[in-house]
Structure 1
């Protein structure tokens, strides 16, 4: 029954809003009342009184009062008077006293909040106002269960605030926490440890939940207190006895784990681990097979893992010190745990097995460092190998068609096992190779009758050897004869024993993955290529009944063909015939489900391209095969494109547009087969790709689904610029005209790279002795239409707060400047020079504006690069008429005005990345201006007598700057501008 007294004055109406079911009006009033109590100098005291006197029975009101008190302690403690601070202490102790008298404990969420408030008060006052905090609580609580519960919760809350390394603390908080721990060690830790012992001893039968709480506290505090207070016969024997109590054993395990993890001297750590192991073994804990409680075994496995890793750490430290005797003893102790390790590693429960992998991995690392392995150590290695092989096996319940959380967890567990396998390979590659060979050979001999999981894991092990074997065996079928021979034997068995016909998804996938992992095997033994090709092409692979297998095989087949294309000449036409139906465009109205998705078909088209291009057929035959591959796509494209504008349903339109986009994508993917050695022209395929362009370009003028169609055709143009080079140019003006109609900022931003690519390729043509005039006329034709389209989009009004539109315009502006930079830097200055004086001036003014007015460092940097190039091209004696005057009037001022803009902040995070380069450009510009104006003295005179005085620069500084400009060493100017 709660302690009751005079009712404190609280806003009863506001308190109604604390109920979760209260309506919004009451909840709003409760929140306002909470803020009022938090901020008031003394109104919060009503909450303190309510808690101290137990006035309210409503749980939500009690929680509310603790929240108000928590705020005062956390944020306003220093501003409270001594009387108010005393009031908080008295409130907490009175509330605690009430708990001792109550027959029923408070709800857990109230006890947790109370513990937080106790902990905050402790942190604020322990070092100054309340040094007897723990003694006061312990003397009040004694062994009262309700009081002990609050005491233990408070200790855990203190650990969270003071010790928990996952919580970030300020340097001041860190210093305070260190001082608190030091003071606790001096003043009260022995008393706390004694209280824990009494609680553990008193309540292990009557209140197991309190005992578990206390074990958690011991585990939390042991990391920073004197270990001898815990790691002694009295305490450890008590903990070990609780390992046999069903309700306590898991927490006792965790507590022992924390004790084991305590940092200490390596010799002492070995002794501690060994003494614990001896007791645990003597009472039967090492008999893992007899234990049915998997939850406990998971905790026990973690404990054994901690003991093993502690021994490894001790061994590592001792080995470095040269203490031979202690090092040997620690290694002996470590190896004595291997039988237990193996029992846990092979346990059918994967959680139990996963918890021991850390120790297993580190034990193998120790063996790797030993100069020579003993027979027992070799036996241990083989036992671990067999355990790993067994645990890699799927179970019957694994759902291959609909993988969920359990399946995902097993995949992660398999990755851990693979780490062990890799480590085994480092320790003894010979033993691993032999063990895998033995398992693989035995399984393949009986694959027809073996369960799928055994067959899958046998092939999986062969696959994993590819990464596990040391790098020197990367070629797998060369180098070390014994290893190459073993791998070659296993691969020969794999592809000839018929296991590719095994009717299970996992086996089929593993077969093809392994064939492609070891594709170099077929270079050594090409006689196996035909049988493997058939496996890829029939119901075992591309026509398997599982969509998952078909999809993966489409990708793996493309990899297989790419690697072995030189060995495919005899099979090219047969393969193309067999996969012909997989290369068909699946129109939306087709009611039959396609064997492959459009993404999978991309790999098939690329594979077909590789076969055609890299075959040894004459050019005429290659040309015919490529036309045979692409003509059905073009025919289907024309039919679908004609249908698209007639469709009225948007969903149907989208489906047709996707299909058209796929057709373009497939054609584009075939072009990936070409290379510098096998170009489109050399293979006689120029005409068919030009036909593709002719077929696809009309899609640009389609009035519906423009975004999808433009994007796909634009991507195809990008590919053709690379493959067809100047042959593509006749198609671009018409394409550009369509793409510049009714365009948005995003359309232009995606179109500009295409034009820049053509411009860039024009420069490549020059280097290759091709006529740059083939690109230049086109650029002159497209230049102003593109620029005007950009100006028109940038000039469109937008809402002030439309961030997306502003960002799109910024990105378009950057793309525009990048385009101008490409043109000026491509050696085709006549493109701009032939645009007419008015247009040139308009463009150059936008560059100056970009350099000075827009607070975008990336764009500004580009603009100054452009201006530098223009001065270099047109500023000399043979340059453009009138341009030197333009330099004086507009470009020189830009160099001085840009850094004077309020938006140009060298300390700003956005400009920091570009500031040094930006300054370099300004310095570079100044040098170029001086060198490229008709006469240096004229430029200096202009600066001294006209421009710098207009900026109110003093004659002294003007003279100083001009003297620096005339220095031949650019570093002098750089240093001057920095200063």
Structure 2
């Protein structure tokens, strides 16, 4: 072997050596017989270096996996002999490192999968005969079995249909030929090594668990095997694996009656052995595994009961139900266990048991008691513990949040089984806690409010109203809500309680429509030290959002307090200048919600328009003044870091102003509220930022977003600002600027149509030229980013032309651009339709061509345009789909083809028999089409249903491309 190349296998070798080792590996892989050097090295133990041994196995692995069919019978035999000789060497040598043993096991498994059905039917017998009960041999045998499981059985690994067929055949053959022998070997290993080699015993238990799903269960589920497994359950180092193994046995799909018997016999033995006394067990890791086993047994009994009930076997289904009920006390003990992992592992059984109860016509007293016990357990387990870190949540906290979600599912299921019982239990817990909240630990207060919150989802609300309809439910919920908002618990000094209070108030905001007298007190809680001015940033942030939700629902009931609220939040609406240096109460993201709230209060109020205008001006004037001030500072600032901070602040101002406009609607427009002037002033203030030479990208983005919003809100009053804004945005623009500017122009065009034609006519060519300039800029040949940017820019350009042809007056906007310019634009569209392999852009081009034909293709259309149709548009409809890059298996391309067909259809509508004559006599013969096909295509084109043409065109080009 190339010793120098082997030096590169060491992880600490330098790059040159590593490169050489890689090249050597490729050489050995590709060679017909060079791999034999590796086989020899393994069999003779020529190398002590672990990396070289691993390398040799990799080379063998490649031969078996990819080149097995090319090897001669002698070479295949050599591989088998190599593996067996290497295995024999291991029996008395020092054990190899685990990573080498694993790789060897993978190679053995590959050899098995490749040769078992043909050349090596005695694979297992050969190995078992060789290793006997030698611990090192047994270790490699068990690792090989797990590697075979990964290759043949593991459902998480995707297999081709051919591999799946092969794997099924392998399993069938193994069942016939060697599974009893393998099972016997497992029993011997478990029995022999249970006191001396715990690691081997655990490995063997894992093998049994993996194979039990597809072998005859009677080979495992018998007295001698189960007794052995149960004896392992009492050995500390073995019992977790034994538990997992029993879980796999219980999980095996089988006849419901047999499954019930199996579970019952297993339970009996476990109970007799004292495993059900979970309170005395201190090993939580084992209990988590045991809980999973009990969960498997419980869910298996539920499946048996379901199958037997559906099959109409009432006697046996009753037996399964009794067996199920007998496990409930154990399930409950595990569910309430203080360790959440143990509890979480039994939730599935608990959930399924409740589903069974839901299907029973009548519940016994015991079953009702079980439901109540589950309820109590869920309420107890929902409670936070002392260690939970609310201000800095880590992995443990995230796990508890996930566990709480599982408990919530149980609560929802309880509500389905017995809503009255759940409502009653929650009311009892809630009222007891609220009566003495001042002296109760935070976790109990939080969970009491949390339960009230959870009822909202657990109990179905009629038309979303929890406070009408079902009188009992409505009055119970109403009583609890009244207690919540009047008992003073909002003063509780803990993050979790504060958050739960506000979440619940907003969850049941409809309560305040029924009892509006509580609104002032709750609003105060939102606005003072309990909410927006809470000591916890987490609470302040969440309350900023929740207040906007609260106001959105109830603004009609807040008329009397609007000005008071606006005064109280005044300081929270300030644009915090970056130079303050002290932390603000709210982040800018939180402030967005406060501005939205202020906007909703003003717009939703019953004040006259003049008052609304005055309030909105008070809200937005400080923003505008700050904006002017900060923009002035930005223009003078030299430090880049400070420039970025100032630009950020200016963008916040734009965002805040934009957010206040979210309150307007079709019923309450800006104009009706008398607020147009205020927003026009905002535009006047903000648009100049577009010409700011520093931080251009950030500011343009902010102003553009504000303009998008104003187009929706201000209607045509925004139009006077568009030309100046466009001029600023088109100055020194780059690809990204153009790409982001086009949606704005498209929005204006779509919304105002003919109204903006004069403006579009003015801006059309400067904009088109800007596109041409940017697209003409040279780029590196392999620069993927630049290529993608150009593709996106082309799409923007075509989207712009498409919007104009579909919404504006084409005659006004395009026809007045001068013949040369029009021609240039038209050629770019033909080019886009044919030359660029981008179906999105091509589709847009055909839509444009179709529209232009519609506008200009008739008798009174644009001069010279019919000529253009015949010379360029008709050929484009054939040349584009004939391109190799036009992929007819791609969905986007098929959409393009449909538009192409519709373009031909539109030409026929506008030019009539003339186009048919042109196609028959001139164009289609030039494509060397037979007269029959030419005739067929022209007939389809003349049919009124365009769907027929679309289908025909698709088939036409599929044939043409064969």
Q: 1:41 is matched with which residue?
A: 32
- Give, in whole Å, the separation in 2 of the partners of 1:152 and 1:403: 42
Equivalent positions of 1:98-109 (< 5 A) are 98-102=89-93, 104-109=94-99
Q: Which residue of 1 aligns with 2:191?
A: 201
Judge which range, 945-954 or 396-405, deviates more.
945-954
CA deviation after TM superposition for structure 1 residue 963, in Å: 5.1
- The 1-side partners of 2:106 and 2:506 are apart by 59
CA contact (8 A) 1:429 1:470 kept: no
Counterpart of 1:930 (choices 898, 908, 913) is: 908
Match of 1:801 among 782, 796, 803: 782
Matching residue within 480, 486, 494 for 1:496: 486
Pair 1:811-2:809 in alignment: no
**Separation in 1, partners of 2:144, 2:757:** 80
Pick one of 834, 844, 857 that aligns with 2:816: 834
| Residue 62 of structure 2: aligned partner | 71
The normalised TM-score by structure 1 is: 0.94
CA deviations on 1:585-624 (whole Å, 9 max, x unpaired) are 0111112211111111111111111111111112111111
Q: Residue 566 of structure 2: which of 573, 576, 581 is its match?
A: 576
Displacement of 1:825: 1.8
Structure 2 counterpart of 1:4: none
* Residue correspondence of structure 1 range 387-402 to structure 2 within 5 A: 387-402=377-392
Matches within 5 A, 1:476-487: 476-487=466-477
Which residue of 1 is the match for residue 596 of structure 2? Answer: 606
**2:220 is equivalent to residue 220 of structure 1:** no
**How far apart are the structure 2 equivalents of 1:471 and 1:938?**
66
- Identify the match of residue 10 of structure 2 among 19, 34, 40: 19
Give 1:59's aligned residue. Answer: 50
Q: Counterpart of 1:767?
A: none
CA distance in 1, matches of 2:262, 2:392: 48
> Where do residues 241-640 of structure 1 align in structure 2 (5 Å cutoff)?
241-472=231-462, 474-640=464-630
Equivalent position of 2:853 in the other structure? 871
Within 1, Cα distance between the matches of 2:932 and 2:240?
83
What residue in structure 2 maps to residue 122 of structure 1?
Answer: 112
* Aligned CA distance change for structure 1 residues 818 and 66 (closer, same or farther; 3 Å): closer
Rate the CA distance shift 1:487–1:229 in 2: closer, same or farther, 3 A: same
Distance 1:334 1:965, change over 3 A: closer
Alpha-carbon spacing, 1:794–1:199, altered in 2? closer, same or farther (3 Å): same
Q: Whole-Å Cα distance in 1 between the matches of residues 930 and 490 of structure 2?
A: 88
Alpha-carbon displacement from aligned partner over 1:743-787 (angstroms, at most 9, x marks no partner)? 011111111111111111114xxxxxxxx4x42322222222222
Q: Is the 8 Å Cα contact of residues 887 and 893 (structure 2) preserved in structure 1?
A: no
The answer to whether the Cα contact below 8 Å between 1:466 and 1:474 also exists between their aligned partners in 2 is no
Deviation at residue 961 of structure 1 after TM alignment: 4.6
Separation in structure 1 between the aligned mates of residue 934 and residue 150 of structure 2, nearest angstrom? 64
1:82 is the counterpart of 2:73: yes
Q: Classify the secondary structure of the residue corresponding to 1:337.
A: helix
1:457-516 CA distance string (max 9 Å, x none): 111111111111124484110110000011001100100000001000010000000000
**Bigger shift: residues 51-60 or 608-617:** 51-60
Q: Distance in 1 between matches of 2:5 and 2:946?
A: 75
For residue 204 of structure 2, give the secondary structure of its aligned residue in structure 1: helix
Equivalence for 1:679: 669
C-alpha distance 973-315 of structure 1, shift in aligned 2 (>3 A): closer
C-alpha distance after superposition, 1:300-358 (max 9, x if no partner): 00100110111011111111110001100101101111111011111111111111111
Q: Cα 1:948–1:114, aligned 2, differ >3 Å: closer, same or farther?
A: closer
Q: How does 1:883-922 map to 2 (within 5 A)?
A: 883-907=865-889, 909=890, 912-915=891-894, 917-922=895-900
How many residue pairs get matched? 954
Q: How far did residue 849 of structure 1 move?
A: 2.3
SS of equivalent to 1:586: coil
| Secondary structure of the corresponding residue to residue 679 of structure 1 | coil
Give structure 2 stretches of 5+ with no counterpart. Answer: 957-962
Cα pair 1:720 1:728 within 8 Å, conserved: yes
Q: Displacement of 1:960 after TM fit?
A: 5.4
Give me the TM-score of the superposition, normalised by structure 2.
0.96
Provide the C-alpha distance between the structure 2 equivalents of 1:710 and 1:306, rounded to a whole number of angstroms: 60
After TM superposition, give the deviation of residue 850 of structure 1 in Å. Answer: 2.0
Change (3 A) 1:961 1:689: same
Q: 1:330 to 1:632 in 2, by over 3 A?
A: same
Q: Partners in 1 of 2:141 and 2:697 — Cα distance?
A: 67
Report the alpha carbon displacement of residue 13 of structure 1 after superposing the two structures with TM: 3.7
Q: What residue in structure 2 maps to residue 666 of structure 1?
A: 656
Q: Tell me if the contact between 1:439 and 1:458 (Cα under 8 Å) persists in the aligned partners.
A: yes
2: distance between equivalents of 1:276 and 1:391? 29
Q: Partner of 2:163: helix, strand, or coil?
A: helix
Q: Deviations over 1:931-953 (max 9, x none)?
A: 323xx444444444444455555
Please give the alpha-carbon distance, in whole angstroms, between the structure 1 residues aligned to 2:819 and 2:125.
92
- For residues 66-123 of structure 1, the C-alpha deviation after alignment (integer angstroms, 9 at most, x for no partner) is 2232222222333333333333333323222222223x42222222222222222222
Q: Report the Cα distance in structure 1 between the residues aligned to 2:876 and 2:31, rounded to whole angstroms.
A: 58
Deviates more, 1:503-512 or 1:851-860: 851-860
- Offset at residue 922 of structure 1 (A): 3.3
- Which whole-Å CA distance do the structure 1 matches of 2:932 and 2:355 have between them? 72
Q: Which is worse superposed, 449-458 or 786-795?
A: 786-795
Question: Residue deviations 1:917-976, cap 9 Å, x none?
Answer: 43433333333323323xx44444444444445555566655555455455555665565
Aligned to 1:5: none
Decide whether aligned partners of structure 1 residues 836 and 85 sit closer, same or farther in structure 2, where only a CA change above 3 A counts.
Answer: closer
Distance 1:951 1:254, change over 3 A: closer
> What residue is the counterpart of 1:3 in the other structure?
none
Displacement, 1:369?
A: 1.1
Q: Tell me the CA shift for residue 383 of structure 1.
A: 0.5
Aligned-partner SS, 1:539: coil
Deviations 1:871-902 (A, max 9, x none): 22222233333333333333333333333334
- Superposed CA deviations along residues 11-37 of structure 1, whole A, max 9, x for unmatched, are 444433333333444434433333333
Distance 1:38 1:396 in 2: 60
Contact 1:473 1:480 survives alignment (8 Å): no
Structure 1 gaps of 5+ residues are 1-9, 764-771
Aligned-residue CA RMSD (Å) = 1.9
Is the 8 Å Cα contact of residues 668 and 716 (structure 1) preserved in structure 2? yes
Deviation at 1:680, TM superposition (A): 0.9
8 Å CA contact 1:364, 1:424 repeated in 2: yes
The 3-state SS of whatever aligns with 2:439 is: coil
Aligned match of 1:789 = 770
1:7 aligned partner: none
Structure 1 residue 869, shift from structure 2 partner: 1.7
Check 1:953–1:235 CA distance in 2 against 1; reply closer, same or farther (3 A cut).
Answer: closer
Q: Does structure 1 conserve the Cα–Cα contact (< 8 Å) formed by 2:760 and 2:813?
A: yes
Structure 1 pair 826–45 and aligned structure 2 pair: CA distance change class (3 A) = closer
> Secondary structure in 2 aligned to 1:507?
helix
